[in-house]
């Protein structure tokens, strides 16, 4: 085990340790000072310049502390620190220099006093972060508009704002031997399964890496099946969604510097739900969910089915329709497969360019690119109008999937089905469906089958929250993630 | 965490596996002039409901003895019994691959060689065939409803094409005889012989002793589908045309129409549902073949089983084809031998248990 250096009573020893460690770190301020009424006492404050407020400002914690120390005797100073007499909320005594350095690097000020063998961590304003803003990727018409930001502390506070109950626990872990990234595990003590928590903790401890810069890295380091294109962790940028999932017995993992919270365990169906699904009436929610499933099918199978039909099974379509298809393709020199791949790839390029190009220009690229390229390609006889329609409908399908990460595998699978349908017709499509079904049936997320709630329903689990949602008053049970003893979520009171 | 940790499938998953694996092959291979037809066929399915009900109870009672064949039968006999069942699974998979290789190029992909079609099917169905029982259970649970729903819907659509005059032909004198009924009852029983694999899988089923109801429900549903097909087919084609078709179920929906004129033909979709069921059946054969090898303490079949099944399914290299060989092998080989081995297993297991009780002094 690594040897720890205790904080010394001699302040010059602490100072030399820090100066050695922080050599050439211009952003770290090491500020020696003499405080105390008559007999001046050597003190030292160490902090990252931008992360801690101006020390002399009255409204900052460290400012208040230092200003107070001008007027008291050295003995009182020590007593003051020991008893935390200033009543500062986030003050912690640190016994080792390593802890002191970690606290300083986490964005706090660390205060040393000669003759006192502890360092004092005083919370500063923290690293610069974006303010709480709108969730960009999970827009809703009804419900809170708040989104997570980059600071893990703010993110957990946004969830705490919604669940004001001490049974919601926040467990801190540090990942990345160089990045020392703070990761928080949020769960409701009596709802989350202990096995699940143990499994998550063991997976978080199962690797050592230099740096963790986003929750996406944790996801890839801890997922069960590395080769699956399907995401095994769900992400959300919405605190209300995260809070809702905590109440369902799931666990939320927050990573510093990442606005995306991970929701564990994850199922296929949970990706097709939105937070609005609980706020709106069951009829429209059920309709929208069915539409999203249809979107999945369209995004994956539509181009493949089109090719299968026009290349192998023309008898399926009415004669008029197949004739108009043939007429539309007149003059196009390429085979239908090449035509479709060309346009699909063009659309992917437009989409990628639209994402990378900033702001309004990105939107313009999407619309202009789509219109101009589509129209020009048809005019130049590179593609037929029907193919433009097929690609547009496929794109709409993939955009209607509420979770971007979840729509990605279908965008990839679309090409597999495109080739299977193009070369093997409906037989190829059936083979592809068999493969995908077999793969999905084998996927587990933290011991929960990926295809829940469509498989092996226990009588206690949250029924009525599948493709079709039941009226809210009848959704009495929590989903299968919660502990068996705590399955009931809704009880009706007898009102006289 | 109460569903994935025990590696057992539910009764619903068992039921759906049976239904999904048998519906397609039954409709495609069992109905028609080479299998069951007419009133004799209908009588056969009804009689089998009773026979298979009893057989299921027998199989469930046998399940303990099939957990480890070597323990029950002894080293040599156990392995031989294992090999008998493995041969059944490989030959059945091979026959189904042969059917796929025959039907797909004729009805869906003109010009694509049969060997390529069956190779792709063998390859796809073999992927992950060694993986857990739960995976197969979940796969069946999710897709069976869609496939069977589609099959039933299309059967209804097919029924609308039928005519009462044609249906009357089913009562023609040559459409029923007691001898034919006996033969076709045995045919249906042989078709359901896949159920003989039940003892191998029951240890992975929750509450195995009460699984009989789930199995019987599957048999009843499959019987109903078979019966419906036996009535609809002559009503759609007429007796003579039906008897002239090798796979009469395939063109059944060629003339069906749906309001709105969205699609002019449904036979491709119909075939897609049947193909999925066939693929699931082939995959099941590979999976259970592996399980039996495990139970008989033999080598793993993960890599070679699908290749062997595919090679056997190829036409024109053996001087015979699976279509000619499979049914005689099933009717005169696997079914009687399998039944014998099951009866023997029952006796041996009972004897072993009695001896064990005598040794421990336990009262019976």
pLDDT surpassing 60 at residue A86: no
CB B264 to CB A318 under 8 A?
yes
What is the number of alpha carbons within 13 Å of residue A264 lying toward its C-beta? 31
CA-CA-CA-CA torsion sign (B324, B327, B331, B333): positive
CA A482 to chain B, closest CA, distance in angstroms equals 9
Indicate the angle between helix axes B38-66 and B178-191, nearest 10 degrees: 40
Here the tokens at position A33 are 């000072």
Q: What is the pLDDT of residues B120-158, one digit of tens each?
A: 999 999 986 667 788 888 999 999 999 999 888 888 888
A79 φ, ψ to 5°? Answer: -60, -40
Q: What is the pLDDT of residues A9-47, one digit of tens each?
A: 888 899 999 999 888 888 888 888 888 777 678 888 898
Q: Which residue among A316, A318, A441 sits closest to B139, beta carbon to beta carbon? A: A441
pLDDT surpassing 60 at residue B363: no
Q: Where does the pLDDT of residue A421 fall: very low under 50, low under 70, confident under 90, or very high at 90 and above?
A: very high
As a whole number of angstroms, the distance between CA B283 and CA B290 comes to 11
Residue A214: count of CB within 10 angstroms of its CB: 15
Residues in CB range of B347: below 8 A, 6 or more apart:
none
Q: Which residue among B108, B128, B136 sits closest to A425, beta carbon to beta carbon? A: B108
Give alpha helix (H) positions in A112-193: 152-160
- pLDDT reported for residue A297: 95
CB A454 to CB B142 under 8 A?
yes
Q: What is the pLDDT of residues A400-411, one digit of tens each?
A: 998 888 999 999
Average pLDDT (B152-176) is 79
* Nearest C-alpha neighbor of B313 from the set B100, B120, B95: B95
A28: left (phi over 0), alpha (psi -120 to 50) or beta: beta
Q: Which residue among A315, A438, A458 sits closest to B3, beta carbon to beta carbon? A: A458
Average pLDDT (A198-205) is 91
Interchain CB contact of A316 with B (< 8 Å): yes
Q: How many residues does chain A have?
A: 496
CB A442 to CB B135 under 8 A?
yes
Interchain CB contact of A323 with B (< 8 Å): no
CB A435 to CB B5 under 8 A?
no
Cβ atoms of residues A465 and A489 within 8 Å: no
Report the residue of A427, A442, A459, A481 to disrupt the B interface, i.e. the one with the largest count of B CBs within 10 Å: A427
As a whole number of angstroms, the distance between CA B187 and CA B33 comes to 12
Cβ atoms of residues A169 and A186 within 8 Å: yes
Report percent pLDDT > 90 for chain A: 30
Please give the residue that has the higher pLDDT: either B9 or A367: B9
As a whole number of angstroms, the distance between CA A349 and CA A330 comes to 26
Q: Where does the pLDDT of residue B259 fall: very low under 50, low under 70, confident under 90, or very high at 90 and above?
A: low
How many interface pairs between A and B have CB atoms less than 8 angstroms apart? Answer: 110
CB A456 to CB B12 under 8 A?
yes
- pLDDT reported for residue A90: 64
Q: Where does the pLDDT of residue B5 fall: very low under 50, low under 70, confident under 90, or very high at 90 and above?
A: very low
What domains sit in chain B, N to C, each tagged with a CATH number? 11-349 (1.20.1740.10)
Report percent pLDDT > 70 for chain B: 93
Please give the residue that has the higher pLDDT: either A38 or B233: B233
Continuous segment of H or E residues that includes residue A359: helix A359-379
pLDDT surpassing 80 at residue A62: no
Q: Which residue among A317, A431, A444 sits closest to B124, beta carbon to beta carbon? A: A431
* Nearest C-alpha neighbor of A247 from the set A171, A188, A183, A310: A188
pLDDT surpassing 50 at residue B25: yes
CA B119 to chain A, closest CA, distance in angstroms equals 12
CA B4 to chain A, closest CA, distance in angstroms equals 6
How far separated are the first and last CA of chain A, in Å rounded? Answer: 65
- pLDDT reported for residue B82: 87
Cβ atoms of residues A253 and A148 within 8 Å: no
Give the per-residue SS3 of B16-72.
HHHHHHHHHHHHHHHECCCCECHHHHHHHHHHHHHHHHHHHHHHHHHHHHHCCHHHH
pLDDT surpassing 60 at residue A89: no
- Bridge partners of A168, per DSSP, are A188
* Nearest C-alpha neighbor of A416 from the set A328, A267, A268, A300: A300
As a whole number of angstroms, the distance between CA B158 and CA B156 comes to 5
How far separated are the first and last CA of chain B, in Å rounded? Answer: 39
Cβ atoms of residues B271 and B103 within 8 Å: yes
CB A451 to CB B138 under 8 A?
yes
**CA dist B200 to A60, B279, B282, Å?**
72, 21, 17
Q: Which residue among A193, A437, A456 sits closest to B143, beta carbon to beta carbon? A: A437
Burial of A360 (0-12, 13-18, 19+ CB in 10 A): exposed
Q: Which residue among B10, B109, B265 sits closest to A425, beta carbon to beta carbon? A: B109
Continuous segment of H or E residues that includes residue B237: helix B212-237
CB A430 to CB B139 under 8 A?
no
Burial of A20 (0-12, 13-18, 19+ CB in 10 A): exposed
Q: Which residues of A touch B127 (CB under 8 A)?
A: 435, 438
Continuous segment of H or E residues that includes residue B306: helix B305-313
Report the residue of A200, A422, A448, A455 to disrupt the B interface, i.e. the one with the largest count of B CBs within 10 Å: A455
CB B272 to CB A451 under 8 A?
no
Q: Where does the pLDDT of residue B175 fall: very low under 50, low under 70, confident under 90, or very high at 90 and above?
A: low
Average pLDDT (B344-356) is 81
Residues in CB range of A112: below 8 A, 6 or more apart:
A7, A11, A14, A15, A43, A44, A45, A46, A100, A119, A120
Token pair 């053996």 is found at: B318
Residue A493: count of CB within 10 angstroms of its CB: 4
Report the residue of B1, B15, B281 to disrupt the A interface, i.e. the one with the largest count of A CBs within 10 Å: B1
Average pLDDT (A149-165) is 90
Report the residue of B8, B124, B151, B268 to disrupt the A interface, i.e. the one with the largest count of A CBs within 10 Å: B268
Closest-CA residue of B relative to A249 is B1
As a whole number of angstroms, the distance between CA B262 and CA B234 comes to 27
Interchain CB contact of A454 with B (< 8 Å): yes
ipTM of the complex: 0.92
Give the per-residue SS3 of A191-228.
CCCHHHHHHHHHHHCCCCCCCCCCHHHHHHHHCCCCCC
As a whole number of angstroms, the distance between CA A19 and CA A21 comes to 5
- Which SS3 state, helix, strand or coil, does residue A264 take? strand
pLDDT surpassing 80 at residue B330: yes
Of A78-92, A324-338, B276-290, the range with the lowest mean pLDDT is A78-92
Interchain CB contact of A447 with B (< 8 Å): yes
Burial of B302 (0-12, 13-18, 19+ CB in 10 A): middle
Q: Where does the pLDDT of residue B3 fall: very low under 50, low under 70, confident under 90, or very high at 90 and above?
A: very low
CB B283 to CB A316 under 8 A?
no
CB A427 to CB B13 under 8 A?
no
């Amino acid at each position: 085990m690594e040897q720890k250096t205790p904080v010394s009573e001699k302040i010059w020893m602490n100072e030399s340790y820090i100066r050695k460690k922080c050599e050439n770190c211009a952003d770290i301020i090491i500020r020696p000072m003499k405080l105390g009424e008559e007999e001046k006492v050597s003190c030292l404050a160490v902090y990252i310049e931008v992360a801690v407020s101006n020390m002399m400002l009255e409204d900052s914690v460290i400012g208040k502390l230092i200003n107070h120390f001008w007027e008291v005797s050295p003995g009182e100073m020590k007593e003051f620190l020991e008893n935390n007499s200033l009543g500062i909320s986030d003050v912690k005594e640190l016994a080792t220099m390593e802890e002191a350095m970690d606290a300083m690097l986490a964005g706090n000020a660390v205060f040393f006093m000669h003759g006192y063998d502890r360092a004092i961590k005083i919370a500063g304003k923290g690293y610069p972060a974006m303010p709480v803003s709108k969730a960009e990727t999970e827009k809703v018409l009804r419900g809170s508009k708040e989104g997570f930001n980059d600071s893990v502390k703010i993110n957990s506070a946004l969830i705490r704002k919604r669940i004001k109950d001490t049974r919601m626990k926040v467990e801190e872990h540090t990942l990345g031997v160089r990045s020392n990234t703070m990761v928080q595990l949020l769960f409701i003590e009596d709802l989350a399964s202990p096995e699940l928590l143990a499994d998550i903790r063991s997976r978080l401890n199962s690797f050592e890496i230099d740096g963790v810069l986003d929750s996406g890295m944790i996801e890839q380091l801890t997922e069960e099946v590395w080769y699956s294109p399907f995401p095994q962790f769900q992400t959300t940028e919405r605190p209300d969604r995260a809070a809702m999932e905590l109440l369902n017995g799931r666990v939320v993992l927050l990573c510093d510097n990442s606005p995306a919270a991970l929701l564990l365990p994850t199922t296929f169906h949970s990706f097709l739900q939105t937070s609005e699904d609980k706020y709106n009436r069951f009829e429209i929610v059920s309709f929208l969910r069915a539409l999203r499933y249809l979107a999945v099918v369209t995004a994956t199978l539509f181009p493949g089915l089109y090719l299968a039909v026009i290349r192998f099974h023309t008898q399926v379509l009415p004669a008029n329709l197949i004739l108009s298809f043939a007429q539309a393709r007149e003059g196009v020199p390429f085979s239908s497969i090449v035509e479709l791949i060309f346009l699909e790839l063009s659309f992917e390029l437009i989409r990628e360019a639209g994402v990378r190009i900033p702001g309004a220009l990105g939107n313009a690229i999407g619309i202009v690119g789509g219109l101009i390229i589509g129209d020009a390609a048809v005019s130049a006889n590179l593609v037929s109008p029907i193919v433009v329609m097929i690609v547009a409908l496929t794109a709409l399908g993939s955009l209607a999937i509420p979770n971007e990460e979840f729509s990605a595998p279908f965008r990839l699978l679309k090409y597999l089905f495109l080739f299977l349908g193009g070369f093997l017709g409906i037989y190829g499509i059936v083979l592809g469906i068999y493969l995908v079904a077999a793969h999905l049936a084998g996927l587990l997320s933290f011991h929960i089958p990926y295809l829940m709630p469509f498989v092996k329903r226990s009588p206690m689990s949250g029924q009525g929250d599948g493709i079709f949602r039941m009226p809210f008053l009848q959704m009495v049970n929590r989903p299968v993630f919660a502990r068996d003893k705590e399955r009931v979520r809704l009880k009706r009171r007898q009102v006289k | 965490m109460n569903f994935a940790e025990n590696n057992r499938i539910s009764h619903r998953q068992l039921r759906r596996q049976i239904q999904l694996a048998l519906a397609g092959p039954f409709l495609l291979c069992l109905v028609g002039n080479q299998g069951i037809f007419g009133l004799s066929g209908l009588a056969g399915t009804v009689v089998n409901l009773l026979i298979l009900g009893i057989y299921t109870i027998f199989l469930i009672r046998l399940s303990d003895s099939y957990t480890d064949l070597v323990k029950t039968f002894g080293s040599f006999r156990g392995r031989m019994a294992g090999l008998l069942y493995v041969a059944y699974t490989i030959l059945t998979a091979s026959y189904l691959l042969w059917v796929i290789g025959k039907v797909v190029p004729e009805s869906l992909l003109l010009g694509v060689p049969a060997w390529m079609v069956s190779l792709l099917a063998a390859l796809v169905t073999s992927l992950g065939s060694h993986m857990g029982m739960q995976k197969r259970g979940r796969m069946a649970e999710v897709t069976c409803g869609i496939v069977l729903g589609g099959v039933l819907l299309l059967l209804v659509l097919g029924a609308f094409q039928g005519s009462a005059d044609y249906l009357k032909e089913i009562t023609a004198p040559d459409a029923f005889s007691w001898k034919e009924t006996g033969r076709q009852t045995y045919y249906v029983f042989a078709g359901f012989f896949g159920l003989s694999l039940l003892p191998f899988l029951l240890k992975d089923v929750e509450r195995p002793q009460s699984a009989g109801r789930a199995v019987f429900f599957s048999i009843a549903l499959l019987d109903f589908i078979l019966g419906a097909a036996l009535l609809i087919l002559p009503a759609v084609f007429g007796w003579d045309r039906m008897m002239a078709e090798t796979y009469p179920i395939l063109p059944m929906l060629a003339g069906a129409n749906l309001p709105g004129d969205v699609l002019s033909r449904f036979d491709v979709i119909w075939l897609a549902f049947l193909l999925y069921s066939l693929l699931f059946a082939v995959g099941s054969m590979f999976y259970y073949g592996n399980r039996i090898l495990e139970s008989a303490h033999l080598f793993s079949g993960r890599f070679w089983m699908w290749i062997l099944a595919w090679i056997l399914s190829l036409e024109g290299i053996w001087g015979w084809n699976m279509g000619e060989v499979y049914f005689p092998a099933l009717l005169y080989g696997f079914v009687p031998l399998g039944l014998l081995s099951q009866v023997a297993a029952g006796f041996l297991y009972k004897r072993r248990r009695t001896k064990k009780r005598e040794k421990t002094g336990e009262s019976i």
